Structure 1
Amino acid sequence: MSATTPQNHPSFEELFKDLDTVPLALFEHLDLSFLEEFPVFAPDPWGRTREHEAPELFKGVLYCFSRDIYGVKAVARELHDELIWRQCGFESAPSYQSIHRFFTDFALVAEDAFNKLVEQVADRDLLDNTFRIDSTDVRAHPDDDDATWNYDPTAESDDTENEDDEDGDEESDEDEDSYYYGYGCLLVSTGPKLPIAAAFTQQKQVDEETAKRITRDALAVEKPIWMLGDGAFDILEWHDDLVDEGVVSVAPYNPRNTNDPLDIEYRIEDRIENHTDNIHLKQSVLEETYKRRTQVERTIGASKDCGLGTPRVRGRVHVKTHVFLALCLRLAIAITNYERGANPGKISVEV
């Protein structure tokens, strides 16, 4: 008996129609057409055509990040699996050169792409009336010449709690643990672990201008009632700017070695007194509100699960691109789970 080929061989689209897979689910509700609006992805003026379009390449990279696959070589290798590249919308497997070019071009618009996805999250009414701001470390490869040794005050405070139980040698090790080699990332978060504004920085410690800029970015998305930060955000102008916007900023008061410390727990108590006589906040209300600040730590944790904590690239530009791709993935997962009726705060797609 001779073998015969079926006349009505199903297409891959028909095969995928009844399947529920991570790539299909992850991109089902995302609108990535905004990428085509960026000049960097516009047609080449010299007539060179792109082998693949930006939305498909973005999908492929995000899928790889969801599988802890990073770097041009690793992504190219993964996207040579036909079942994967077809689900990401490619008509053929993308080449190493195409993926490398995408990473290079995306670096120029990484923050803009992140902001576009933030808009899609906001359109789904996933934000709440409390924003939180915090910074985190981004550990770098030891051979990354652009990275620097940075001081992490959080590590020091954790060490101090146990210093009575440590001997001299262990205390010396703890001092070393207060420093790390890498960069920093400043985030504003809200809702179900959603980063809505971000800045890639040279170090974890916060400077005033970056804090104010990222806060403005967050308020441009939506104006909350509360903005919560830890003691690092006891910055006078940061508080005053928020009060002027009608937002109550809550951060612990830091006396900064003053000879005449104020009798307050939170800086906002003093700033409101200086701004108006008509508003009064009970300290108990501030204390209860400040307890909600820990949500930003969970957002940072969720973002690190999406790749923020594992940049396997070198150089400031490449690490920054990696960071914003990880943040984009976090938003993509939240949108997908929300649209599928699952908890948008989950760190993986429910299929």
Structure 2
Amino acid sequence: MLKKNVKVYLAFVIFAVVGIALFWLLGFKEKPETRIIKHGEVPGEIIYTYSHPLNSPSKIVWTKDGSFIHEETINGIAIMYIQPDLQGNLWTPSTKNDKLYKLTSDYQVETSRTPGTTKNFKILNGDKVSSHSNLSNIDFNKLWYEGEKKSFQMKLEGFLREFAKDGDKLYIFADFIAKGTSVLYEVDIPSEKITNTVPLPEGVADDMVIYQDKVVLATKTSLTVVNRSDWKVSTVKLSYPDVRPVSLYTRDDHLYVTLRSDVDLSGLKIIKLDRNFNEVSKVDLGLVYSGDQYKDDKIYIYSGGNDPERGISGELSVYKLDTWERLGSLVLPSGPNNYNVSGFTVL
């Protein structure tokens, strides 16, 4: 009886060992980039990318409510921007060449070409807008607009950094780097013509939105406001010293401004302004800022930690607007070859 039990036990052990070996050999071993650590609640579908400025491949990871869903590898380098369209597809360009990647809702990858190396890329109300380097004249960029009803290209002076759209009007912030100046272009989409060129006092802008009848730009240590009724330009000073606005969001007739400190790296702040640009409230979240995205009544903030020894790329935190309750966070692992998270989007 004892010998029989021993045989049964040995058979069980052998079966278990063989099963584990097959599990690993068939590729079911957990990959480092799927080891997401979740704290609290992280609602929504979050897609983030791993990429290197010089090497390929890049990787895209899908999560839902903080849990890993899928990952896909693409043979692209320098993947930074990832944007959803209205049909459920994701688009991400290489910022080192002319490749544009489309990822369908069933995780198929399609590759197309752009007019040149992509410098900036956004999807606005379903329309793709991007700027591309112009090898024949480095002082100009190519603008590429691709909408459902209209597609066109045009050459514009300056480094085309930011885009915003309102109806048939497209607004473009252009940085004249060599001159140390900048302008705001208004382009009429149906006619493909520039209808206004507004000189601006600041040469750098990190974000731009349409707020009321104005174009608002996040520039250096203040907001630059262009009134579209008379094209006058004004500046809104911010109450915090040693910060610069990096992200703008409009909701319920208010403007939210994300402020990054270049002095105190963990000094991320957010202010809420009313229609007259008066401060309604402000909060110091005390986070290191690597990127953010507002979505409905929440803000998602990525803080890059880059700790390859612990296998950690950074942490993505989600806060409720106005109450500033921290709902939860995701500790994101290092990617393949210790690549860091290079971008993310929230659906």
Check whether TM > 0.5. no
Structure number having the greater strand percentage: 2
Shorter chain as denominator, the TM-score bin is: under 0.3
Task: Select the structure with the greater relative contact order (CA < 8 A; seq sep ≥ 6).
Answer: 1
